[in-house]
Structures are given as structure tokens and as C-alpha cells.
């Protein structure tokens, strides 16, 4: 199995609902350093997993739609707790949709959101 | 599949038994930067893999019991070669025991011990 | 010259005022990984720059007062553009105040705020 | 499942063939920071996955044969597009061959080539 | 003193002249992860060291002119040993020239080129 | 001003004397990731700060003399508190001595010992 990973980042504000979140129930924010990993059993005719230029553009577009925003005010997240885990899935699902033709032949996708030097979350899905 | 990782560290002394270890047969020590990854197929009602505050506390307690010690003198490790691999399993098994209710719904656990910028070891187990 | 650095982090929301900030004029947020470096020409009687336990506690207290907050709503920052540079100075000045006796013998302090894997800012001051 | 990883690096020149590579069709180069991960279900009698000294030597030998070379001029790569993905497989396969007796008991091998702070590729195979 | 750093990278081929370089006398290549640090005694009216958007664009332009090239074939480097140290100075000097108005008020510039996880070089100059 | 840095590491056991050290008064250990930075105002005839091969060998020799040892038992450290700060100076001074001819033209040396992902110490001296 092969994989290729590209990294970008986004800066968002949000608050979390639920006693388990303690002070993170207040409006605060985070930088998420986002790693998108594309998996593929065999390489294509060019010897690659994915056109890394295209994957980078798509990742930039997906994080660009989320960055510099207060997620509490976004209609897409009404009623959703925007935890790091949930956002990892959002980025992965939007990437899968946006890849279009570039996803051909890919077997899966992993998105990791690093929120600090001591905590991160991932979501893995098939393609 | 979702996962969440938290990081802590411990500083220990020990020696290793066996010719394969060369100079590491002498009493020496290491910093282990410890990454504990919790895996779960679906998120809980709060939209998380695990209460990260509770996971962090439990990890701190587990590495706290090992840190600032000479493992050669610890009764728990009598007759055990405390290699990085073995210690990764010790931390993972102790974490699994200590999580108690916080482990409900979790599918697995990976513990990685980074001993330098050029070497690390992991142990992965179900929960 | 000797120095010792300890690392912590904080998660905040804020917005920036000025056309130069582009989309960062909207309410968003950031994780700042905070490195506090203490400088000293000669070591003390214990062979250290600073009591690292005390320095770590003081840093934790300083970042704890800022973390999980919307800086736009904090009276301390009324009329202040809370850029990364400005926040580095705020953390450094608060650290200097909070160190009290622990600052005895120190020559200077550098605070670095890393806001992503590709951008960070520092402020350096004497003590 | 246990694993152990060791890190080394290599510096090579090459060019890539295919429109998808854009400016990377020109002769250029890269540093690959190479992580070799050895996987094993149970530890050996010494409590390890692999003799890490031997693994490190073998990895050094494998990357040493590639480093400080223009891969476009190497007979081994005639007709091969030396993408990061392809080179990850080359390193993994050569490691598997070179381990010899040291591979006994190992279940698999993952090789990751990091080409920058924002892009890397992996290849995973059984042993 | 304040500073702001932005990071980018470039991939180049080259060879070095002189026995001291050993195997690096052969044509090979490197990824340079490039950190550009801008220093300033006092912040401007917006509370910043430099317009980070403009600094990022200028850095991208400077590394873009060098990346995906064989420096041995570039007229700009005829007769020049393109060591990491020399290239750090080239990037710094070109940045200083390209900043134009954005350099107003800046006191200095440091450029660091990281060529692997175990080696890097810097050049520092006034502005 | 130019600089070049090379990285290596060492694994040691030790204990610290003084109430300020808390649990670190017990025998424990650490991995120190060691960065040695060589500074020079102008480059030599080859376009370098220092022969990086020679610097790497000298650093390896210096850390090799300390690694895989219990510093409490070493005659060189009798009566010395082997704090991270003190060890940074020991490494720097031994490097300066060992460089010999390779130090010609160098202006200074900085040694940084990273003891975990959240703490490190440096010592800077002229040459």
C-alpha cells in the first residue's frame, strides 16, 4: 500500500457544548495543522498516488472555506459540536467530494488535525 | 475510524541485558516522549473519541509512576528487559486499566515512545 | 550566556483591525505554542538558570489567563490589536512580573508564539 | 502489534517525466528524510522487534547507495520515474533484501520519505 | 526586539567543488526548508513587524526563482560554490531587495536553510 | 554573520542534588538531542563556516564519551550537578577543544540540549 500526505492549516474560532469540555465551552479558537493522506494499493501510470499539485489545491480550497471564520456562526455547523474529531471528518468528506476525477484509483483518505504540540485527532475513510 | 492522540513524557534510568544491546547494557537513561492514541469507530454523543481531559490525566498518572526512576530497581520490572518496545506495552496496558469508564466505546489504543529524533517504538492493542 | 526554554500553549479567539490583515479581520482563532526562554550569564549555586518547575508554573498561569477566551471581549485588550507580535510581548511582560523572586539573576527573556507550522513571532526583553 | 522506527536521510538529484509534474520535469533535487518502520506481532527473546543497531546499519547502507547521486544517470532507474512513492518502495524492497537474518520474525515494513515540511510519501509491505 | 518568521521551501540540484565536500562533489540535490525572520525594534501602527502576507509572497517569489533548477547551470551561480551557507545569503539578499517598501522600519533579517533533520545553516544581516 | 548547526544525541543516567530538583533528585535519565551551532563572520575559501563532516565527527566523539553512562559514577563530574545547563557547557567546551584546526576562523559556538518536547537549555561561548 502506498500513501502520499500534504499539509496545510486553518485558523478558526468556535465554542464547544457539553460539560466535558470545561473552559472550551467559552468562545475560543485554534490553529489546525491539517495533514491529508491519500492511500492507493498500486501507483498510476505516472508512478504516483495522486497528482500532488491537484491534491494540494483541493486541500487549500477546503481549509480556505473554513479558515478565518467563527464556526459558531456558520450555517453548515448549526447544531454540530465542532470538535477536532468532527472537523477532521468534515475536511475528509469535503476533500473526497472535491477531488472528483483526481480520486480515481484511490483507496482511502486520512485527515489529521493537529491542534497543539500535545494533541491531535484523525479520521480515516475509504474512497 | 476516528482517533485522538495526547502527548506527555517521562525520564528514566535503566540498563538492558543481552549482547545485542552493546553499550546500552551499561546503566544509562532516556527521555521517552509518549504519544497515546485512542481509536473509536464512531463518536460519542458529545462528538468526541474520549474525554481528552480525562485521557490526559490518566496518561500523566501512568508516566508519573515511571518517571524519575531507575527501572532496574523497580520490583515491577524484576526479570524484565525494559526495552522501548516493552515499555510501550507497559504504558498501553496500564492506560487501558486506568481509563476505567473513560474506555467505554473505544476500539483500540496505540502507544508510541520516542527515545530520540531518530528512533521510536509503538505498541497497538484492542480495548 | 546560558538559557533555558519551557513550552506551553494557549487557544484563543480574536479579530484584527486594519486592511493589512485581510480575512483575519474576521473573528477567528489560533493555537499559540508558547516558548519562554530565560537567559542568564552565569548559573546559580544549583547549576541552573532558573527553577524550571517554578518557571513552568508561572508560564502555565500566564497562558491560562489568556486561553479559552475571545480576546476581543477582554478589557485588558480594549483598543489593542492582538497580533502575534503584541501577544508575545504581553506574555513576556506578564511572565517578568509573575516570576518575582525567581527572576533574580536573570538577564533576559524571549517569548516565541508559534501560530502554525509556517509562521511564528518573538519578543525579547531584558530582566 | 509492535513496531520500531529508525530515521536517516539522503540527498539526490533527479527529474520527473510527465506533464503532471510541471516544473519538477526539470532536473532538480531533494532531501528525503527516511523513516523505516519494522512491524512484529510478538517480541523476540531479547524483548525487541529487531536489532536496532543492525537495522540502522542496513538503512544507512541502503540510503548511502542512493545519496549524492543524480538518479537520472543510474542504470537501476533507467525507464523509471523516480517519484517519492517509487523511491519509498525501492528503499523498502532493498531494506527487506539487505536485512537477511535480521528480518526473521518481522511481519512487515513501512518506509516513509519526507521531501519537505509539507509533503511525504509511504510504502508498506509484508516481510 | 520583535521578530516574525515565515517558512517556505525549495528543491534544487547542484554539485560542490572542493575535496572537503567528499561525495557532495557529485551532482546531487536537496530540499531546503527556508525560514525567513524579520527583526524590528518597535512595532508599526498596525502592531506588526511586517505585513506577513507581503513577506510570504516575497519569500515564495525568491524561492520560486531557485526551485526545480540545477544550480550548476544557472548563470547567477557561475563560479560560485552553492553551499547551504552561500544559498542562505543569496536568499537573504534577494529578500532584502524584493521587500522594497515592506522593509521600511525593519532592522534585520535572518535566513535559515534546513537541509535535513540533522543539519542547517543561517545568515543574518541588517536591513 | 553565518552559522551552521549539526545534530546528534546522547542517552545518560544521573541524579541532581538540591531541593529545587524535586523528584529529579532520584537516579533517573534523559535523552539529550544535541544541536551544535558554529558561528563565523565570513565564509572560508570553500564557501563554508566549517567542514561539516569534521564537525559531525567531533560532535559524535564528544557525545559518544558521555552516552550510555551514569554520570553520577564519572570522575569528571565528581562534585558537579549535571544539570542540562551544565552539560550544555561541558559539550560546548569539549567541542571547542576537540575541533583543533577545524575551529580556525570560527567566532563562536552554541550548544543546545533538548531534554523533551517541552524543555531545552543552551550555552553560547566565543571561540
Is the pLDDT assigned to residue D103 strictly greater than 90?
no
CA atoms within 13 A on the CB side of B65: 15
Bridge partners (DSSP) listed for residue F122: C3, F112
Q: Which residues of B touch A39 (CB under 8 A)?
A: none
Is the CB of D120 less than 8 angstroms away from the CB of A49? Answer: no
Integer Cα distance of E31 and E8 in angstroms:
11
Residue E64: its H or E element: helix E52-66
Q: Tell me if residue E125 falls in helix, strand or coil.
A: strand
* B3 in A contact zone (CB under 8 Å): yes
Does the model's pTM come out above 0.90?
A: yes
CA F99 from chain centre, in angstroms, equals 13
Once rounded to an integer, what is the mean pLDDT over residues D106-119? 98
pLDDT at A100: 86
Q: Which residues of A touch C70 (CB under 8 A)?
A: 13, 26-28
Is the CB of D89 less than 8 angstroms away from the CB of A6? Answer: no
pLDDT at A103: 87
pLDDT at A39: 98
Nearest to A120 by CA among A6, A2, A9: A9
In this complex, which of C83, C117, C120 lies closest to E47 when CB atoms are compared?
C83
Is the CB of B52 less than 8 angstroms away from the CB of A119? Answer: yes
- State the DSSP code for B58: H
In this complex, which of A31, A69, A70 lies closest to C31 when CB atoms are compared?
A31
Tens digits of pLDDT across chain B (127 residues):
999 999 999 999 999 999 999 999 999 999 999 999 999 999 999 999 999 999 999 999 999 999 999 999 999 999 999 999 999 999 999 999 999 888 889 999 999 999 999 999 999 999 9
The sign one gets for the Cα dihedral A108, A114, A115, A120 is positive
Once rounded to an integer, what is the mean pLDDT over residues A94-105? 91
Q: Which residues of F touch C8 (CB under 8 A)?
A: 118
pLDDT at A76: 96
pLDDT at B90: 98
Integer Cα distance of B50 and A120 in angstroms:
12
Is the pLDDT assigned to residue C102 strictly greater than 90?
no
What phi-psi label fits residue F105: left (phi over 0), alpha (psi between -120 and 50 degrees) or beta?
left
- State the cell numbers at C5: 526554554
- In F14-83, alpha helices (H): 52-66
* A28 in C contact zone (CB under 8 Å): yes
Band of residue C100 on the pLDDT scale cut at 50, 70, 90 = confident
Is the CB of B121 less than 8 angstroms away from the CB of D3? Answer: yes
* E75 in D contact zone (CB under 8 Å): no
The sign one gets for the Cα dihedral A66, A71, A75, A78 is positive
pLDDT at A15: 98
What was the ipTM of the complex prediction?
A: 0.96
pLDDT at D60: 98
Q: Give CA separation, A127 vs A96, A104, B42, D14, in Å.
A: 7, 9, 18, 32
Band of residue F99 on the pLDDT scale cut at 50, 70, 90 = very high
Integer Cα distance of A14 and A21 in angstroms:
12
Band of residue C70 on the pLDDT scale cut at 50, 70, 90 = very high
Is the CB of A5 less than 8 angstroms away from the CB of D121? Answer: yes
In this complex, which of C117, C119, C124 lies closest to E1 when CB atoms are compared?
C124
Integer Cα distance of C8 and D85 in angstroms:
36
In this prediction, what percent of chain A has a pLDDT beyond 70? 100
- State the cell numbers at A58: 483541493
- State the cell numbers at C89: 510581548
Touch test E–A: 3 Cβ pairs or more under 8 Å: no
3-state secondary structure A66-106: HCCEEHHHCHHHCCCCCCHHHHHHHHHHHHHHHHHHHHCCC
Q: Label residues C52-89 b or e (16+ Cβ within 10 Å = b).
A: bebbbebbeebbeebbbbbbbeeeebeeebbbbbbbbb
Is the pLDDT assigned to residue D38 strictly greater than 90?
yes
In this complex, which of F18, F85, F124 lies closest to C49 when CB atoms are compared?
F85
How many Å lie between the alpha carbon of F6 and the closest alpha carbon of chain E? 5
How many Å lie between the alpha carbon of E12 and the closest alpha carbon of chain B? 25
Q: Encode pLDDT of A33-86 as tens digits.
A: 999 999 999 999 999 999 989 999 999 999 999 999 999 999 999 999 999 999
Q: Which residues of B touch A123 (CB under 8 A)?
A: 1-2
Q: Tell me if residue E79 falls in helix, strand or coil.
A: coil
Q: Encode pLDDT of D41-82 as tens digits.
A: 999 999 999 998 999 999 999 999 999 999 999 999 999 999
Q: Encode pLDDT of E56-103 as tens digits.
A: 999 999 999 999 999 999 999 999 999 999 999 999 999 999 998 888
Touch test A–C: 3 Cβ pairs or more under 8 Å: yes
Average per-residue pLDDT for chain D: 97
How many Å lie between the alpha carbon of D42 and the closest alpha carbon of chain B? 10
Q: Which residues of C touch D118 (CB under 8 A)?
A: 117
How many Å lie between the alpha carbon of D74 and the closest alpha carbon of chain B? 28
How many Å lie between the alpha carbon of F87 and the closest alpha carbon of chain B? 15
Q: Encode pLDDT of F49-76 as tens digits.
A: 999 999 999 999 999 999 999 999 999 9
Q: Which residues of A touch C29 (CB under 8 A)?
A: 11-14, 28-31
Nearest to F4 by CA among D30, E33, B76, E122: E122
Under 8 Å between Cβ of A31 and A10? yes
Once rounded to an integer, what is the mean pLDDT over residues E19-42? 98
Band of residue F100 on the pLDDT scale cut at 50, 70, 90 = confident
Q: Which residues of B touch F23 (CB under 8 A)?
A: 67-68
Nearest to B87 by CA among B116, B113, B56: B113
Band of residue D4 on the pLDDT scale cut at 50, 70, 90 = very high
Amino acid at each position: 500500500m502506498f500513501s502520499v500526505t500534504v499539509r496545510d492549516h486553518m485558523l478558526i474560532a468556535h465554542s464547544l457544548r457539553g460539560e466535558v469540555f470545561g473552559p472550551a465551552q467559552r468562545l475560543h479558537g485554534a490553529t489546525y495543522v491539517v495533514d491529508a493522506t491519500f492511500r492507493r494499493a498500486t501507483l498510476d501510470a505516472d508512478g504516483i498516488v495522486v497528482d500532488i499539485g491537484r491534491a494540494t489545491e483541493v486541500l487549500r480550497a477546503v481549509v480556505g472555506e473554513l479558515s478565518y471564520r467563527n464556526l459558531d456562526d456558520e450555517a453548515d455547523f448549526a447544531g454540530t459540536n465542532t470538535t477536532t474529531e468532527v472537523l477532521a471528518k468534515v475536511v475528509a468528506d469535503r476533500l473526497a467530494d472535491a477531488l472528483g476525477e483526481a480520486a480515481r484509483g484511490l483507496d482511502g483518505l486520512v485527515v489529521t488535525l493537529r491542534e497543539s504540540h500535545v494533541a491531535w485527532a484523525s479520521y480515516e475513510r475509504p474512497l
